[in-house]
Structure 1
Amino acid sequence: MLRRFHSLPGLISALFVLLIGITGALLSINPALDRFRTSLPAGVSVAELADRVVRQYPGVEQIQRTPSGSLIVYYSAPAGPGADRVDPVSGKAIAPFVPSAYARWVKQLHRSLLLDTPGRVVTGITAVAMLVLCISGMLLLVKRVGGWRQVIRPLHGSRSQRWHAQVGRVAVAGLLMSALTGMTMSAATFGLISDGMQAEPDFPATTSGGQPKPVARLPALMAADLADLRELVFPSPGDLSAVFTLRTRQGDAYVDQATGAALSFRAHSGVREAYELIYQLHTGEGLWWLGLLLGLCALGAPWMAVTGAIVWWQRQRAKPRIAGNSTAQAAGTVILVGSENNSTWGFARVLHDALREAGQRVHTAPMNQFPERYDHARNLFILTATYGDGDAPASANQFLTLLDRVPANHATGYAVLGFGDHQFASFCQFARDADAALQAHGWRRALDVATIDRQSTQEFARWGDTVGALLGLPLKLEHTPQHPRTFSLCLRERVDYGLQEQEPTAVLRFAAVPASEPASLIDRLFRRNSLPRFDAGDLVGVVVPGSPMPRFYSLASSSRDGILEICVRKQTGGLCSTYLHGLQPGDCIAAFIQPNPQFRPASGKAAVILIGAGTGIGPLAGFIRNNTGKHPMYLYWGGRNPESDFLYEPELRNYLSDRRLTRLHTAFSRVENGVRVPIRLMEDADNLRTLIEHGGQVLVCGSSAMAGSVRLALDAILAPRNMNVRTLKASGRYREDVF
């Protein structure tokens, strides 16, 4: 519901938001330009300024001071009326004042779309839509990242989704202020609220009628500070009953031209002052620096309008199109899907098609369409993502309520598959909640709940093997989510370890494909024939020729190093690892980068504790390599045998020497009295407790089995301090990249 509440006004108002954002950004420059070409002297009274102006302009009729400080003199002369921008020190003309037709056109386009009253109505409605978009968008972001404390953490999703949310969280404060102030000004324009402008001072019934004094000697003008001036209107020449009209920041008054007394004065009301503040906050006039900030935020509006429309279109394209979908009552197998952004539907479609090819009658639907009866179903599969901090995704937010009304079918066995990201503390939590709820309602569990980390195609294929064994069917599940366009990499260097082992390891270093000719300006601007941007800990997707499924490897380098480095163990029967181990220097591969911003050390001086085993050392070595600030870093790493596969040994020794690595703890399992990483952690428990108590963060990379044993060890180590891995995860101080 919240997503619809955000998307609907966004789609309806996208064009107007884009237009008003661009024009607002253009208008925001004017107050700054006005301010920088104006310098008001301190301590000058209105009387002094008026005297200087009268000496230069005998026919002066009016002096106006803009909110940014410029002084405009309107006068009559034999050649006709005129207007000049004047120097407040001398009263002399700086330049003729000619309002910019372009600026006036942009302002009218911004305020009324050049359509007068109907246009003002539309812009007012657009301001309301912008307010709704700001609030709903922020709430969506908070749910997406798992709470207010995580709102500044790196974002996941497609490029359009990331940029939409990234720009939104930077610009939301300015856009929210512009929307609120714009709404208020629109309401005042149509008389829905008061702007306080109606209250004028009472015009004096009588004046002294005496001969006018020099303007420099009029007490009311002498008492008014130039910095507070808004407008001074001079009396008509020769009319002894005429008066000066003085408007200041504090209020308005009529001034006798003979005595200089304020004949009447009316202070601005609180409503007037509030409206003027709102006007300043919206336009930046008088607050030029705020105007520039709001202008930058306004540029985010058209960006978000475009990216928001792209995200919406991508979501529409990704909506499920299930072929051969049997009815719920006729199906022998039912697949229910919980998805927020439709990505889970791709996996469900693959399962649906594979089961149909195996001769099954299959019904696939959202979890929110859980029917009360399945007459023939013997298998129920639930594929669901988790939204935010363990919440149900959009298509499953009614499932637990519906489950209360559906009687358990003991003949139907169910299996739950969760999709999520290990970096979140509530990884696949809703899948676990759905599994627990089904079991509590008496449903028969056929398989333990399984999870898929970051849409891993390999994990999905392995789960398919398990399902096939359960059903007695040859089930092959291959699903390739949409990935970025690939680029070419050529192997520059390889370092091999454990060649005598059945599963050797290689460190592979790739470079960009060399250009055949000097790069053009376009090539340099768009980084063609060079490495894309990435950091250690990001993932590279390697596409094996003839295989639709990419395999992902954690990067041990950043693009600043000039190479793309991965550490690969050759797996028995492993398609991609065998392919990579067969490469020789000069061979090229197709690959793409998948950002993994959750897995990298946070900035700061607190100690970083790196824990890994086997090829999990790759990104950890990259973090140490980039530790040029020489912050405390401790590495706990496990291998098989120091004689054959002490990965990165020369580099680690160098890092210890130059203090990029503070301490190294190794654990080798295939030697006499061999040990594993958790034992090394327990041996250094006191030091680990101290480091973590003082803000230390933990990064773990390796197999899921290793990561599980590390969590148990750290829970035991931290128990005396009433801490555990879960509390560290909740504060962003425990991050994993496991496979």
Structure 2
Amino acid sequence: MLRRLHSLPGLFAALLIAALAVTGAFLAFDSIIERSGATVPATGQVTVAALAEAVQLRHPEVERIVRTASGSVIATYFEADLPGAERVDPLTGQALGPHQPSNLTRTITNLHRSFLMGDAGHVAAGLGAAAMLVLCISGAMLLMARLGGWGAILRPSRGTLSQRLHCELGRFALIGLTLSALTGCWMCLATFGVLPDGTAVDAAALVQPSGGARLPPGQLAALQAVDLSELRELTFPYGSDLADGYTLTTAQGLGHIDAATGQMLDFTPNDLARQVHETIIMLHTGRGVWPLALLLGLAALTAPVLAGAGGVIWWRRRAALPKIRQNVGAQSADTIILVGSEGNSTWGFAVTLHAALTKAGHRVHAAPMNSLAPRYAKAERLLILTATYGDGDAPASARLFQQRLERSGTVMPVAVLGFGDRSFPQFCGFAEEVAAALRAKGWPMLLDTWLVDRQSAQDFAAWGDALGNAIGTSLALAHVAARPRTTALELSGRVEYGAESQTPTAILSFVLPAAGGFWQRRTLPRFEAGDLVGILAPGADLPRFYSLASASTDGVLEICVRKQPGGVCSGFLHELQPGGRIEAFIRPNPSFRPGRGKAPVILIGAGTGIGPLAGFIRHNARHRPMHLYWGGRHPSSDFLYGPQLSQYAADGRLTRLNTAFSRVPGGGYVQDRLAADAAALRDLVQHGAQVMVCGGRDMAGGVARAFATILQPLGLDLATLKSEGRYREDIY
């Protein structure tokens, strides 16, 4: 609900908000430029009387003197019955040059206030400000939820480039945009009289002027008592009419002055409504307070970028979801299907289940697990289909599920179906965790938790039979996995390792085939080191994923592959000859990349896990401190990327290389090197180091245990580092 609330105003009001933001930024910077060119006397240095007399000596028929919020002083006058205006030096009263209002500034001001459309434009501008306010509040709440609470609001964000850009810019601009939006709403309501602005009506003086001969302005006691910093506007008496006096508007209110005696005839102080309204105007424009104007201007400039990045995020999220026919609303459905998926494969099973239930006459709603609602009006059952990410973690679309479950007031029959790979120790670990949480909340189970191994269509069909019996509906779940959209890539090079240790391993490089036609793809798909490439071996239904050691900007797709006994895909890749082709697709893995900044990075891996780590080092052009701990079997045959790592160490991209070889006398494992360097590693962690681990499960487990021991003297643990995004794993 919160994400929808955040998305809809942005989608419908993006152009409106962008127009308000761009024009607002122009006006904010215009005020800064005006302020930089204005002379502002110290308080008590110049009185209104002195300035008025200096101007009148030069222009006997002066009409008024105005002091702008930015400190500029403008005098308007008549000479030979022709109007004129000039900028005035507030210290001397001398002319600085003619005053020529900018047509551009006037036009942009009107665009910002009303889109040049009068009252209808004022309404549109107010609606745009209201939409921006909703976006700011909902965006802050989403960011808080994404990062793990208000206490974590300053943690580095993770995700794709558009997600990081949206989060970081939003965090930077939040205060400025919220202030602009809130004050903009207030000013719009005040324009139409919904809120009071406290404007004083300039009525005739309650006490009539004496009508005597006028004194020079410099001798008027009422003007001598007013410091120039308080002046808003001084209107001079008209012509030779001795019954007319001065009208003085200051920061405190409005008064009338006898031109003959210099006495204040009456004074109407600003009421609270006027004081509040002037404060609102100052907070909205920043005029007179240049640091505030700078903050507002910079914040406004982020709005179009935020809108663009938000649109990309929305489009990618929408495009990633399957198109489910007859997916009824959550509050109208009798059956709710919630899906936890990292790479969207689980959604395919959800679509099959949705179609079968709909065909049987049920009203079905399918959504990500993160969308668990506090209540469902008509739902009779909840079906959860979820994968497990990594070593028992929640997949991307289910990371908020348990938080939402704690706040849910709903209890209904539920069935949990887990998807995973039995070769992992935490096989379907997250599904088991979800089922336990539901039972603890008192949700009755339709079935015991079922587990599907390696996306088995047979396991899924068996679960469908059991579910059908439980709900009294015959379900035939014949699932056929959709083949992912792939790109053809051609093997351009390979480097062989592992001969002496009898563990054939190769670094494989792929490029796009030579263009065979106008419409053939000419650029690699976009990817970064640490992302995953899915490869479909001939005749295989399921892809095998490998961590990428290169980025698309390198012009090649590079992976490290060890030949597994009986491995279909690894065997195919090891037999592939230069010029041979594969069918592949990219799966972004933004959670496994070095965070931004200058803090050190500790890279830990073994075997082919060095692939993405070498890619990170390769792209370390800014020479950020990077310390690599890597383990292999034998230095003469298994030292993957050995020559490249030596080069990286020589040119400063790699700060320190630490290796451990298990098949040499006195050798050991990578966790042994970590233990030996415990003091140095603690020092790096204290300086904000991020730890990145890539490789097999056994190695990762040993590294985790070693690091837990290393952290103990610091009063830290792995859970803390993980929650801060400073301990990341890519385990296979």
TM-score by length of 1: 0.75
Q: Return the alpha-carbon distance in structure 1 between the equivalents of residues 176 and 401 of structure 2.
A: 31
Deviation at residue 428 of structure 1 after TM alignment = 9.7
The one of 51, 60, 63 equivalent to 1:61 is 63
Contact 1:601 1:699 in 2 (8 A): no
Match of 1:249 in 2: 251
TM-aligned CA deviation for residue 182 of structure 1: 0.9
Q: Does 1:703 align with 2:705?
A: no
Q: 1:458: which partner in 2?
A: none
Q: Is the 8 A contact 2:387 2:395 kept in 1?
A: no
Partner of 1:51: 53
Q: Which residue of 2 aligns with 1:216?
A: 218
Q: Mapping of 1:632-651 within 5 angstroms?
A: 633-651=626-644
Query: Conserved in 1, the CA contact under 8 Å of 2:527 and 2:552?
Result: yes
Partner of 1:97: 100
**Residue 237 of structure 1: SS of its match in structure 2?**
coil
Task: Check the 8 A contact 1:65/1:231 in 2, yes or no.
Answer: yes
- The one-letter code sitting in structure 1 at the alignment partner of 2:696 is S
Give 1:519's aligned residue: none
State the Cα RMSD in Å: 5.1
Amino acid at match of 1:615: T
Instruction: Assess, with a 3 A threshold, how the Cα gap between structure 1 residues 546 and 675 changes in structure 2: closer, same or farther.
Output: same
Give, as a single letter, the amino acid of the residue that structure 1 aligns with 2:118: D
**Structure 1, residues 524-543: CA drift from partner, whole Å, max 9, x if none?**
xxxx9898987654556678
- How far apart in 1 are the matches of 2:13 and 2:65? 41
Structure 2 partner of 1:600: 594
Instruction: Give 1:347 deviation, angstroms.
Output: 3.4
Q: Cα distance 1:345–1:273, how it changes in 2: closer, same or farther (>3 A)?
A: farther
Change (3 A) 1:276 1:339: farther
Q: Distance in 1 between matches of 2:269 and 2:656?
A: 72
Q: What SS does the corresponding residue of 1:644 show, helix, strand or coil?
A: helix
8 Å CA contact 2:498, 2:504 repeated in 1: yes
Do the aligned residues in 2 keep the contact of 1:617 with 1:637 (CA within 8 Å)? yes
Q: d(CA) in 1 for partners of 2:407 and 2:431?
A: 11
CA contact (8 A) 2:353 2:477 kept: no
2:137 paired residue among 111, 135, 138: 135
Look up the SS of the partner of 1:76 in the other structure.
Answer: strand
For 1:551 and 1:514, locate their aligned partners in 2 and report how far apart those are by CA, in whole Å: 25
CA displacement, residues 634-658 of structure 1 (integer Å, 9 cap, x when unaligned): 4332212222102233344556667
Moved more, 245-254 or 575-584: 575-584
Task: Give the match for residue 705 of structure 2.
Answer: 712
Residue 363 (structure 1) shift = 10
Which residue identity is paired with 1:153? P
SS at structure 1 position matched to 2:82:
coil
Structure 2 partner of 1:678: 671
Q: Distance in 2 between matches of 1:534 and 1:381?
A: 29
Deviation at 1:25, TM superposition (A): 3.5
Q: 1:485-532 deviations in whole A, cap 9, x for unaligned?
A: x798984x643322466653333567899999xxxxxxxxxxx98989
How many residues align? The count is 684
- CA drift of 1:300 comes to 3.9
The match for 1:27 is 27
Post-superposition Cα deviations, 1:644-691, rounded to whole Å, max 9, x if no partner, equal 102233344556667765654433344567643334444555654565
Per the TM alignment, residue 266 of structure 1 is displaced from its structure 2 partner at its CA by: 4.6
In structure 1, C-alpha distance between the alignment counterparts of 2:164 and 2:89, rounded to whole Å: 50
Pair 1:348-2:341 in alignment: no
**Which residue of the partner structure matches residue 666 of structure 1?**
659
Q: CA deviation at 1:603?
A: 3.1
Give a deviation string over 1:294-325, Cα, whole Å, max 9, x none.
24433444454565566556656666545799
CA distance in 1, matches of 2:648, 2:343: 45
Structure 2 CA distance for partners of 1:509 and 1:57, relative to 1, 3 Å: farther
Residue matched to 2:401: 392
Q: Is the 8 A contact 1:336 1:383 kept in 2?
A: no
> Structure 2 regions of 5+ residues with no counterpart?
328-334, 389-393, 466-475
- Aligned mates of 2:41, 2:203 — CA distance in 1: 29
Question: Is residue 606–residue 696 contact of structure 2 (8 Å, CA) maintained in 1?
Answer: yes
Q: Name whichever of 655-664 and 52-61 sits farther off.
A: 655-664
- Separation in 1 of the partners of 2:354 and 2:731? 30
Report the 3-state secondary structure (helix = DSSP H, G, I; strand = E; otherwise coil) of the residue aligned with 2:722. helix
Alignment deviations for residues 404-442 of structure 1 (CA, whole Å, 9 cap, x no partner): 443x8xxx9x532389xx9xxxx9997454221466656
Task: Write the deviation string for residues 20-64 of structure 1: whole angstroms up to 9, x where unpaired.
Answer: 334333433432343344445553433333233223322211111
Report the CA distance shift for 1:627/1:25 in structure 2 as closer, same or farther (over 3 A). closer
- Distance in 2 of aligned mates of 1:308 and 1:627: 29
Provide closer, same or farther for how the CA distance between residues 540 and 38 of structure 1 changes in structure 2, counting only shifts above 3 A.
farther
Deviation at 1:550?
A: 7.0
Among 257, 260, 274, the residue aligned to 1:258: 260
Aligned to 1:154: 157
Partner Cα distance (2:340, 2:349) in 1:
10
* 8 Å contact kept, 1:509–1:563: yes
1:51 is paired with a residue whose SS is helix
Rounded to whole Å, the distance in 2 between the matches of 1:730 and 1:465 is 36
Q: Tell me the SS of whatever aligns to 1:643.
A: helix
- Answer yes or no: is the 8 Å Cα contact 1:217–1:260 preserved in 2: yes
| Closer, same or farther: CA 678–447 of 1 in aligned 2, 3 Å | farther
Change over 3 Å in CA distance of 1:428–1:393 after alignment to 2: farther
Q: Residue deviations 1:74-112, cap 9 Å, x none? A: 222335334344455463362353462x54444334323
C-alpha separation in 2, matches of 1:701 and 1:576 = 18
Number of the residue aligned with 1:495: 495
User: Secondary structure of the equivalent of 2:134?
Assistant: helix
Summarize the Cα distance change of 1:322–1:41 in structure 2 as closer, same or farther, 3 Å threshold. closer
Are 2:454 and 1:462 aligned? yes
Whichever residue aligns with residue 599 of structure 1, its letter is R
1:548-582 CA-partner distances (Å, limit 9, x unpaired): 98765444456887876543334454437844873
Is residue 350–residue 477 contact of structure 1 (8 Å, CA) maintained in 2? Answer: no
The yes-or-no answer on 1:435 pairing with 2:444 is no
> Is the Cα–Cα contact under 8 Å of residues 538 and 597 in structure 1 kept in the other structure?
no
Give the alignment partner of residue 283 of structure 2, picking from 281, 284, 287.
Answer: 281
Q: Is the 8 A contact 2:606 2:631 kept in 1?
A: yes
Decide whether aligned partners of structure 1 residues 264 and 635 sit closer, same or farther in structure 2, where only a CA change above 3 A counts: same
How far does the alpha carbon of each residue in 1:194-226 deviate from its partner, in whole angstroms, 9 at most, with x for none? 323237798351444432222233343344333
| Contact map agreement 2:342 2:396 (CA 8 A) in 1 | no
177-186 or 666-675, larger mean C-alpha shift: 666-675
**DSSP 3-state at the match of 2:401:** coil
Tell me which residue corresponds to 2:123. 121
Counterpart Cα distance in 2 of 1:362 and 1:568: 47
The match for 1:181 among 161, 183, 198 is 183
Amino acid in structure 1 at the alignment position of 2:506: A
For residues 158 and 396 of structure 2, the distance between their equivalents in structure 1, rounded to whole angstroms, comes to: 14
Counterpart Cα distance in 1 of 2:37 and 2:198: 31
Shift of 1:17: 2.9
1:693 and 1:222 mapped to 2: Cα distance?
Answer: 63
Do 1:143 and 1:388's aligned partners in 2 also have CA atoms closer than 8 Å? no
- Identity fraction in percent: 43
Instruction: Give the counterpart of 1:725 among 702, 718, 724.
Output: 718
Aligned to 1:238: 240
What are the Cα deviations for residues 103-140 of structure 1, in whole angstroms up to 9, with x where unaligned? 44443343234443344334334323321221012212
SS of corresponding position for 1:611: strand
Residue 701 of structure 1 and its aligned partner are, at CA, apart by 1.0
Distance in 1 (alpha carbons) for counterparts of 2:271 and 2:206:
20
Determine helix, strand or coil for the equivalent of 2:296: helix
- AA partner of residue 192 (structure 1): V
Structure 2 letter corresponding to 1:252: L
- 1:249 maps to a residue whose letter is A
d(CA) in 1 for partners of 2:68 and 2:365?
63
SS across alignment from 2:186: helix
Q: Is the contact made by 1:6 and 1:132 (CA closer than 8 Å) also made in structure 2?
A: yes
Report the equivalent of 1:456: none
Give 3-state SS (helix, strand or coil) of 1:81's partner: strand
Q: 2:215 aligns to what SS in structure 1?
A: coil
Q: Is the partner of 2:66 in helix, strand or coil?
A: strand
